[in-house]
Amino acid sequence: MNHIKKLQTKLDEVSDEKTRKWFENYLKNAISYRGVKTPTVAKIVSHWRVDKAIDKLPLKKQMEIACDLIREKKAEDKFAGIIYIQKYLLGSLETDILLQNFSRLYDQEAFQDWSTTDWFCIRVLDPFIMKSEDTVAREIGSWYKSRDLWQRRSSIVSFRGSAKKNKYLAIIKRNIASLVKEDERFIQTAIGWLISELSRHYPDEANNIVSEHFSDLSYEVVNRHTKYLPDHKKLKERKRKSLR
């Protein structure tokens, strides 16, 4: 914990009130900020890792510290832990240890907002899936059954890179089909994000998903995330009429 306090002190030293207010306003106060921009957080983490000899600790201890940071309340602390895992641990620890620690974070409700959740998905889970054996994709894909909203969102957002490569499409389709009936906005927008990615590179696949689940997709998803499909305007009008 002493290691974390030292990092937090350094973050506070460079915090900016204007930056804090901007972030908290943008996220509608879903999470509190210190007021430190992400590139600065990354630089501080890099220096702290060497200066405090974190890099000399056993890898499992480093993971423990990173996860402790993610469990902290402030956004920058969480970002610091995510950055640490992304840069220094993803390619170093065994797959099962990584999966156990990642799943435990959700069990402990370390994620409570879309921004931090998506950061973890894009910086850690997505590359983890893309660089690992199929077992990792299957395990993270199985999170669609979780009771935790943010873990369910992660079971979709973490496959953004896969959608670009038309990889793990069966998992993507299953998870969308399993979750699309939820009215929860953060599930709907996660689905929309993957539809958008697919539509850029594999429009036929995206169009099939939209056609199959059209009645369950929110207007926001159809309006914002089908814009790369040829029939975008028709889809918007059709959805608008269905809501009258």
For residue 1, the model assigns a pLDDT of 59
Q: Residue count of the chain, please give it.
A: 244
Q: What are the pLDDT digits (tens) for 154-211?
A: 999 999 999 999 899 999 999 999 999 999 999 999 999 999 999 999 999 999 999 9
Q: How many CB atoms lie within 10 A of CB 19?
A: 16
Identify the burial level of 1 via C-beta atoms within 10 angstroms of its C-beta, where 0-12 means exposed, 13-18 middle and 19 or more buried.
Answer: exposed
Q: What are the pLDDT digits (tens) for 197-243?
A: 999 999 999 999 999 999 999 999 999 999 999 999 999 999 999 98
pLDDT at 16 over 70: yes
pLDDT at 20 over 80: yes
Q: What are the pLDDT digits (tens) for 86-130?
A: 999 998 999 999 999 999 999 999 999 999 999 999 999 999 999
pTM of the model: 0.94
In whole angstroms, what is the distance from residue 45 CA to residue 78 CA? Answer: 12
Q: What are the pLDDT digits (tens) for 135-154?
A: 999 999 999 999 999 999 99
Region of 74 on the Ramachandran plot (φ > 0 left; ψ -120 to 50 alpha; else beta): beta
In whole angstroms, what is the distance from residue 42 CA to residue 210 CA? Answer: 38
For residue 244, the model assigns a pLDDT of 79
| DSSP, residue by residue, 127-151 | HHHHHS-HHHHHHHHGGGG-SSHHH
Q: What are the pLDDT digits (tens) for 36-84?
A: 999 999 999 999 999 999 999 999 999 999 999 999 999 999 999 999 9
For residue 85, the model assigns a pLDDT of 98
Q: First CA to last CA across the chain, in angstroms?
A: 55
Helix (H), strand (E) at residue 230: none
List of domains in the chain: 1-93 (1.25.10.90), 132-243 (1.25.40.290)
Query: What residues contact 190, with CB distance under 8 A and at least 6 apart?
Result: 153, 156, 157, 179
